[in-house]
Structure 1
Amino acid sequence: MNELFLLHDASLKRYNTLGLDAVASNLYLPFSQEAFKQALIQTKNKTRVLIGRGANILLARAYYDDSYAFIVTSNAGDLRLENGEMVAEAGVTLDRLAWFCIEQSIGGFEFAEDIPGTVGGALIMNAGQFEYTIGMYVNWIDVYHPASDEFKRIYPDPDFFGYRRSKLEEEGAVVLACGLRTPPGESMKSLEKVLEYKRERYRKQPRNYPNAGSVFKRPTKDGETYYVWKLFEETGLRGYRIGDAQVSEKHPGFIVNLGKASQKDVLDLVNECMKRVKERFEIDLQLEWKVID
């Protein structure tokens, strides 16, 4: 049975949570781990773009020509218990991971339920919320190194993960699967915590418009860490709009698509935010989003 599909001139609108219109000359849809590996091998001479749930990315072009290969990983994600640990393939969605842990009475992963991503993307950026990150639970990671065309297993050292970063990103590695620790938990307590986290995020974050998650990392200056939304508040950016791209009125740390935002609308708004914060506070903001250009 064919488990790898290739679409040409395919719309990417459903594959990015910001809801931008874009078209890819090559869109690969693998439905198994082996098919995912085949997609990686077949695209070694192209600029690869891996998409899980499509959050935390900004499609900066309206059309990506034949030099690009988009690979959607979220259809190829096996999740199982094996030898006392969870084995999660890159395409496993974080909400699925959290609910699997609740069913198996595994604690610690409640934070992941409401993060719109996959295990692969989460490992690359060490996704998390509150005091938890996925990097806290990793035993090993199976990766593909494009530069050497090599598949291998790595065991993270204490410096491997940091705030919204990992050495995977620095090395340009592609995540295939990982082994995760399984701290004991209680299903009902985990469920209560999931609902508590979800209520908190719905209360604070804009869920009524498409968005790609937090736009910028929290900056530091002279040893002090700043909240982006407070910087935006003080520079008059709450509700600021260019075209249909708007700094959220509910939470200024987010940029939302009011309906028909273009790539230019979003990029211009991002640049305006960076410019105002730089002029007012002498702080250089760093994108949390990955710009696909």
Structure 2
Amino acid sequence: MQNVAEGKTDVAAVPFILPFLMSKGAGPYAKLGKEKGAELAGNLAVLYTYRFGGMSVWSCDSSSVKGWGDLEGKKVINGPPRGAALSNARALTKIVTGLTDGEDYQGVQANWGQMVKTITDGSGDAMVLPIYFPDIRVTRAAASGSVTLYPVPKDVFEGAAMQKYLKSPGTGAFILDVGRIKPQDGVTIQAEDGVWRSPATVGGEVVRTDMDFELARALTAAMIANVDAYAAKAPFMAHVALGELDPAVTGMCGPNPIRYHPGAVAAWEEAGHKVPDCAKP
């Protein structure tokens, strides 16, 4: 993302927590300082948005963990040693259960390239990781034994703490009728009312604000015209919220410092969509 802001790269897939941190000169952008970070973040614009995955707990059926209520005292695989996934997993676990990593349960970290091995070799009793439908990590784990996925309980999801969290930078709501998810052998989704509820990491296709208007419009229009084709070629794409403009789903507006590129706004509106005023440049 910093390369895009500095004009070294034209396009990047960006979780929206990153522009927020850059604009504050925080996290991985602390060395930039707030003034320079804000300046660079001001160079960024969005063409369209998508989910990087939901987040919830899941476990092998052979495990003693049968949901959120069983995590205390257990080993929980919750992401790589650094990064958004680990922070999100810890925050979500705290909201749902009140438990703290290192005190109430033992977090287990592994790099993404080693994650499936870490899951299948018994290093953890449960996983709190990003989830797609279908998800390659879940699919590969299920090849070694059945697994069950547990969404966030409805009362917790609708509670004040979770609703506040869903409005934090780079986070959106992921609500999906389980009946719309294609069944997989060895994978069960245990949803109390047939609905998947979880937070999701959200982001989008990010360019510089000075990208040519017609190029930005053409790139965005191409995506809009092919949403159905993407879902047909890759089943998980049906649930990543391509084509959504609702800020509650996309993570636009609010604390997110970047807005749609003017060319992207034109493409959306030409396709018959209404772009929220708060997301316009």
Say whether the fold is shared (TM-score over 0.5): no
When normalised by structure 1's length, the TM-score is 0.28
Higher helix content, 1 or 2: 2
Larger relative contact order (C-alpha < 8 A, sep ≥ 6)? 2
When normalised by structure 2's length, the TM-score is 0.29
